[in-house]
Structure 1
Amino acid sequence: MNIVQLEYLKEIYVCGSFSVAAERLGVTQPALSMQIQKLEEELEFKLIDRTKRPFQFTDEGKVFYEKSLEILKQIEALKQISVNISEEVRGNLKVGIIPTLAPYLVPLFIQQLAKDYPALQLEIYELKTEDIISEIKMGDIDCGVVSTPVSAINISVMPLFYERFYAYLSEDHALFKQDSIDINSIQQEDIWYLEEGNCFQNQVNSICQINAQKKNKQQLVYHSNSIESLRRIVEYKNGLTFIPELATINIPAEQEELIKEIVPDKPVREISLITAKRFAKERQVNALKEVIKSSIPARMLKQPDRGIMDTLL
């Protein structure tokens, strides 16, 4: 048994295909199959049932695969020893960030990170919360920046900052002339939504006490992960949507009057850095955490007394 075989097994599990796994690994499919066969011969049980279409991992194979992930994570930790011994924060850090946050957060800290840690390479992936958690557990990314709380086993959560929700509405909307918007005065059919399963949408539904049955009565539901798309629809098609606080920073001055405070509870989402309970790149993750917190407006670092929305995840 060797590390290469474990890495091959992981790629097969992730891809669900020998041919795709072989292509991603840069090896031939026969070579990949041979290594898995050798591993099965040594273990004296089948990892994969090839008689089924598509193939399936056997029960024994699933147990072995879960244990092999733990070993691969430890191997990565061993590789990190030389990096951690050095005083310089360097290496590669793969980070998943939810789509309703990434376009606004990354520009705030990326230049400072490059200045403070020039030897640290950052790879950023826009992913939904459940995908970030899954890829952290798989070891495919090192950490994530998500809205919390989340329900996930073996995941550590480090709160970073607290971001308020604001209403964003058309100049033609009946509530436009008000300085703030009472959430109880909003007609649910006026609201433009993000894609189903998005934690931001879940929080909006919670704020407005919206259920799927009422929402399905709308003439049009726009499926998107982009807050910017919803802003454009509101500007040109009337109605309203909700935007996070960081999304308000770069809104042109002539459109700032479209942003309205929500009352009475001033809802807030908690943004946190999440990792596996045991992870290798502690110094790199801590560097990222400190740079993000130093780049955020100070008012957003303090936890509010109430109003933190549940992600329902």
Structure 2
Amino acid sequence: MTITQLHYVLAVAEHQNFTKAAQKVFVTQPTLSMQIQKLEDELDVLIFDRSKKPIELTETGKKIVQQARNIVNESDRIQDIVDQQKGFVGGLFRLGVIPTIMPTLLPMFLKAFIKKYPKVKLKIEELHTEAIIEKLQDGHLDAAIAATPLEIPNIKEQPLYYEPFVGYIPEGHRLNGKIKLEVEDLDLDDILLLEDGHCFKDGILNICKSTKAASDDHFQLESGSFETLIKLANEDLGMTLLPYLHTLELKDQEKKNLRMFKEPSPAREVSLIYNKSELKMQIIEALRATIAGVVKGAITFQNVKIISPLPKK
């Protein structure tokens, strides 16, 4: 049994296809098939049910894949130990970022990070929280930036900053005259929301202390972007809530419609999250330090109330 064979098994388990798996690990399909067959012969079990389309794991195969993932992770740790001992900060690093953080935070730190750590090859994916958790647990991401707390046993969270929710109240709206918003002012039927899948939407629902949808006879609209929500609010179709960093890039005219909440302000906790195996910690720490350095000047709020990104049951 070899580490290479286990890599091949994990690739087939992921892609459920020998040809695609071979392309993923950069070998020919016959080579990959032969090595997996050799492993099955050695163990005297079938790992894959080849009669199914797509290929499926056998019951024993499922247990083997779970253990194979642990072994491959531990083998990666050896190189990680050597890199840390040498003080080397480099290599491929796969980072996931949720959509409501990506457009504002990434431009703030990416250039500085690349300049300081040129040997790190960052592969960044924009993913919803659910996909991030799955990829972290499967070893397909090294770390991610997401709203927390997530309360996932195998995932560690390192808070980066606390970002307040800010009201966007257009002229003519019932709340436009208020200097500071209060949570009690909010009416779920009156708020333009992001579509399902965004944890920022779940945060808003949690602020309102309600998960019930608006009544059928009331206008309700959800969108995939804050820009669309702002445009709809400007057309007097309701108000919306924005993350603080997103408000910094608004036009001066639009900034007049912003309203902060009375303290403690409802806010989201933004964290660097990673698997408890703690691989590539030297790069994770470099990311944390870089982000903390650039965000420190933009986010200075302390008296906040953290809103959970988890949907209420």
Question: Deviation per CA, 1:131-164, whole angstroms, max 9, x where unpaired?
Answer: 2122112111111111111121211111111110
TM-score by length of 1: 0.89
Number of residue pairs matched by the alignment = 311
Distance in 2 (CA, whole Å) between partners of 1:173 and 1:124 is 39
Distance in 2 (CA, whole Å) between partners of 1:142 and 1:49 is 30
How much does 1:96 deviate?
Answer: 0.9
- Give yes or no for the alignment of 1:92 onto 2:92: yes
Residue 212 of structure 1 aligns to a residue whose secondary structure is coil
Residue 193 of structure 2 aligns to a residue whose secondary structure is coil
TM-score by length of 2: 0.89
Gap change, CA 1:79 and 1:170, over 3 Å in 2: same
Q: Is the 8 A contact 1:49 1:56 kept in 2?
A: yes
Distance in 2 (CA, whole Å) between partners of 1:216 and 1:134 is 34
RMSD: 2.3
Name the counterpart of 1:205.
Answer: 205
Q: Is the 8 A contact 1:231 1:241 kept in 2?
A: yes
**Partner AA of 1:157 in structure 2:** E
Distance in 2 (CA, whole Å) between partners of 1:281 and 1:2 is 23
Name the counterpart of 1:177.
Answer: 177
Name the counterpart of 1:32.
Answer: 32
How much does 1:73 deviate?
Answer: 1.2
Name the counterpart of 2:269.
Answer: 270
% identical equivalent positions: 32
Structure 1 residues not aligned, in runs of 5+:
none
Structure 2 residues not aligned, in runs of 5+:
none
Gap change, CA 1:274 and 1:303, over 3 Å in 2: farther
Gap change, CA 1:33 and 1:87, over 3 Å in 2: closer
Name the counterpart of 2:305.
Answer: 307
Q: Is the 8 A contact 2:267 2:305 kept in 1?
A: yes
Name the counterpart of 1:83.
Answer: 83
How much does 1:256 deviate?
Answer: 0.6
Name the counterpart of 1:67.
Answer: 67
Q: Is 168-177 or 101-110 further displaced after alignment?
A: 168-177
Q: Is the 8 A contact 1:188 1:215 kept in 2?
A: no
Residue 307 of structure 1 aligns to a residue whose secondary structure is strand
Distance in 2 (CA, whole Å) between partners of 1:288 and 1:217 is 48
Residue 73 of structure 2 aligns to a residue whose secondary structure is helix
Question: Deviation per CA, 1:185-211, whole angstroms, max 9, x where unpaired?
Answer: 333222111121321111100111232
Question: Deviation per CA, 1:217-256, whole angstroms, max 9, x where unpaired?
Answer: 54443242x2233223222353111111111111122211
Question: Deviation per CA, 1:48-99, whole angstroms, max 9, x where unpaired?
Answer: 2223344321221111111111111122222334432333522222111111
Distance in 1 (CA, whole Å) between partners of 2:6 and 2:135 is 17
Gap change, CA 1:95 and 1:47, over 3 Å in 2: same
The residue correspondences of 1:127-206 to structure 2 (distance < 5 A) are: 127-206=127-206
Distance in 1 (CA, whole Å) between partners of 2:27 and 2:214 is 52
Structure 1 outlier segments of 4+, above 4 Å: 215-218
Q: Is the 8 A contact 1:160 1:301 kept in 2?
A: no
**Partner AA of 1:307 in structure 2:** K
Distance in 2 (CA, whole Å) between partners of 1:193 and 1:271 is 20
Q: Is the 8 A contact 1:171 1:238 kept in 2?
A: no
How much does 1:298 deviate?
Answer: 4.7
